[in-house]
Amino acid sequence: MDKLEKAMARMVDAYNRQGVCKVCGGRLKFQGCGEYVCEGCGDITYDDYGKVRSYVETHMNASVDDTAEATGVSRESIRMMIRERKIRMGGL
Ligand SMILES: [Zn+2]
């Protein structure tokens, strides 16, 4: 692992990082931006950050409440991501 990968790995640990494929039990490979791909079946999974990120990308004006409801990620986690500028939301 290089320096950047290590920093990314530390970052995603806080957001329910995924480890094992729900479909086939295979190992998940971190692809960046909260996204994981299974080495066994190719299924794509997101951690909390990945879920929030892909939701706000397609719902530019979503509020924290909307995003929490749609993704199942806690408001506290979403606010933390906004504070750390990992995601950007309309009006914030
Ligand atoms: Zn799999």
Q: pLDDT tens track of the chain, all 92 residues?
A: 677 776 666 555 556 776 889 899 999 999 988 899 999 999 999 999 999 999 999 998 899 999 999 999 999 999 999 999 888 876 55
Compute the distance from residue 26 Cα to the ligand 1 centre, in Å.
5
Domain ranges of the chain: 3-46, 48-83
- Per-position DSSP letters for 22-45, written without gaps between them: TTT-PBEEEEETTEEEETTT--EE
Cα 88 to ligand 1 centroid, rounded to whole Å: 31
- Give the pLDDT score at 7: 66
Query: d(Cα 10, Cα 80) in Å, to the nearest integer?
Result: 15
Note the pLDDT of residue 60.
Answer: 87
Q: Which whole-number Å values give the CA distances from 3 to 9, 10, 81, 89, in the listed order?
A: 10, 11, 21, 28
Distance CA 86, CA 35 (A): 14
Separation CA 79–CA 59 (nearest Å): 16
